[in-house]
């Protein structure tokens, strides 16, 4: 699944082929953006923000894609066969020497750059784990914010608290820190909360650098925990967009299963 590290690498891979070059042709699947508005414009920047990819043009326009669960950006040489069916292309941008194709993304938008500050998905993003300097104290404050989701598993996925963590990194950092995803944020002490953010940052930065994301329990329901051999458990949970949490019931005791001792 594309998380912040994937987007960081995507931006780094597209940037040298797009920036400074003029769009010769562009098309988008409809309903979608009016891609002809970027034809003739020169690309001025390619940037990852959390799990968003932003491509800016010298005519004041900007493309935003969010890859969701299955989307991806590919870069091809002109005439090179594509690795996914053309019918799944949401946006195609052709510049001299390169063709950038966004496949299967649920979100492809074109808007004026001056509107970026007002964009509902961008203006509220928390500190980005892949951008220096990273404001750790602000991220911790936002994680503690009372309006945030009540459990630590949900809070780590909230891009308004900190940007870049997806489900796999969430599951990994909680397992490494031996914290249950179901623990209320208020029950997580400051040192542990800081450690969770630092672990998530380390996983994402390692993934951005190497293209490989360390992952010990994600997707491994029923298989033994690499640390204690207890079978991994999984459960979809979390508000509007349930995601599958994986955890070790021994290393990460579930607070919901605390047996009342009676009074």
Identify which of residues 12 and 228 has a Cβ nearer to Zn ion in the complex.
Answer: 228
Identify which of residues 66 and 220 has a Cβ nearer to Zn ion in the complex.
Answer: 220
Nearest approach, Cβ of 222 to Zn ion (angstroms)?
13
Q: Give the count of alpha carbons within 13 A of 12, CB side only.
A: 11
Place of tokens 């492809």: 108
Identify which of residues 204 and 217 has a Cβ nearer to Zn ion in the complex.
Answer: 217
Q: Say whether residue 177 binds Zn ion (CB under 5 A).
A: no
Tell me the window of 21-29, 130-138, 180-188, 247-255 that interacts with Zn ion (CB under 5 A): 247-255
Tell me the window of 34-42, 124-132, 157-165, 225-233 that interacts with Zn ion (CB under 5 A): 225-233
Q: Say whether residue 156 binds Zn ion (CB under 5 A).
A: no
Identify which of residues 128 and 168 has a Cβ nearer to Zn ion in the complex.
Answer: 168
Nearest approach, Cβ of 142 to Zn ion (angstroms)?
29
Collapsing DSSP to helix, strand or coil, 151 comes out as: strand
Q: Say whether residue 224 binds Zn ion (CB under 5 A).
A: no
Q: Say whether residue 102 binds Zn ion (CB under 5 A).
A: no
Q: How far is CA 112 from the centre of its chain?
A: 23
Nearest approach, Cβ of 181 to Zn ion (angstroms)?
14
Q: Say whether residue 174 binds Zn ion (CB under 5 A).
A: no
Q: Of residues 9, 51, 56, 213, which has the active-site annotation?
A: 51
The residue count of the chain comes to 263
Nearest to 35 by CA among 80, 98, 79, 101: 101
Nearest approach, Cβ of 168 to Zn ion (angstroms)?
18
For residues 131 and 106, give the distance between their C-alpha atoms in angstroms, rounded to a whole number: 25
Known catalytic residue: 243?
Answer: yes
| Beta strand 25-28 pairing with 61-66 | unpaired
Tell me the window of 53-61, 81-89, 138-146, 226-234 that interacts with Zn ion (CB under 5 A): 226-234
For residues 232 and 226, give the distance between their C-alpha atoms in angstroms, rounded to a whole number: 9
Structural contact between residues 247 and 176, judged by C-beta atoms closer than 8 angstroms: no
Q: Say whether residue 248 binds Zn ion (CB under 5 A).
A: yes
- Binding Zn ion (rule: CB under 5 A), the pick from 47, 227, 234, 254 is 227
| Sign of the dihedral through C-alpha 129, 135, 137, 143 | negative
Sheet holding 61-66, edge to edge: 43-49, 52-57, 61-66, 107-112
Which tokens go with 116? 């970026």
Known catalytic residue: 51?
Answer: yes
Place of tokens 């020497």: 97
Which tokens go with 200? 């998530």
The catalytic residue positions are 2-3, 51, 243
Binding site for Zn ion (CB under 5 A): 225, 227-228, 230, 248, 250-251
């Amino acid at each position: 699944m594309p998380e912040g590290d994937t987007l960081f690498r995507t931006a780094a891979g597209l940037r040298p082929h797009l920036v400074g070059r003029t769009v010769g042709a562009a098309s988008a699947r409809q309903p979608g953006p009016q891609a002809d508005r970027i034809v003739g414009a020169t690309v001025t920047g390619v940037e990852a923000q959390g799990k968003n990819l932003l491509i800016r043009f010298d005519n004041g326009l900007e493309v935003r894609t969010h890859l969701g669960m299955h989307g991806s950006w590919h870069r091809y040489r002109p005439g090179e066969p594509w690795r996914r069916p053309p019918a799944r292309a949401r946006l195609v941008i052709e510049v001299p020497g390169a063709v950038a194709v966004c496949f299967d993304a649920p979100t492809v938008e074109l808007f004026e750059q001056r509107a970026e500050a007002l964009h509902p998905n961008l203006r509220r993003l928390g500190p980005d784990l892949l951008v220096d300097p990273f404001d750790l104290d602000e991220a911790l404050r936002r994680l503690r914010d009372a309006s945030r989701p009540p459990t630590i598993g949900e809070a780590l996925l909230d891009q308004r608290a900190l940007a870049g963590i997806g489900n796999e990194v969430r599951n990994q950092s909680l397992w490494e820190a031996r914290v249950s995803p179901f623990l209320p944020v208020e029950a997580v002490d400051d040192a542990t909360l800081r450690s969770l953010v630092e672990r998530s940052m380390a996983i994402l930065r390692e993934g951005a650098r190497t293209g490989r994301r360390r992952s010990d329990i994600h997707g491994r329901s029923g298989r033994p925990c690499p640390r204690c051999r207890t079978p991994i458990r999984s459960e979809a949970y979390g508000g509007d967009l349930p995601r599958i949490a994986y955890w070790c019931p021994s290393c990460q005791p579930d607070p919901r299963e605390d047996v009342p001792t009676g009074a």
